[in-house]
Amino acid sequence: MEIDPAGLAADAIAGIRDRLDLLDPARGALTSDVEAARHGDPEFAIDDACEVLRYFHVPVRLDEFQALRSIATHFAMEDSLEEIIVI
């Protein structure tokens, strides 16, 4: 079975986005990253989503972080995960 990194990236980012308040500015930025992943640019989406999480100090749950790490590892982008707040 072949993995779908774009779909996994979109799902991981959407999961974080969906628990944020509708007016949270990080939500809009993460929505753009979900769309980028769905439209074939999962590497950009993961990198940018991590920037958004750092910039807005959005904490992520351990399961969310593990999903991001799995995708980042697939693209050899583990350094993108530095300084993300895990709760």
Per-residue pLDDT band for 13 (boundaries 50, 70, 90) equals: very high
User: Left if phi > 0, otherwise alpha if psi is -120 to 50, otherwise beta: which for 84?
Assistant: beta
Residue 24 pLDDT > 70, yes or no?
A: yes
36-86 pLDDT, tens digit per residue, is 999 999 999 999 999 999 999 999 999 999 999 999 999 999 999 999 999
Q: How many CB atoms neighbour CB 87 within 10 A?
A: 8
The neighbouring-strand residues paired with 61 are: none
- pLDDT the model gives residue 44: 96
Q: How many CB atoms neighbour CB 1 within 10 A?
A: 3
Residue 1 pLDDT > 90, yes or no?
A: no
* Contact (CB, 8 A) for 36 and 48: yes
pTM given for the model = 0.92
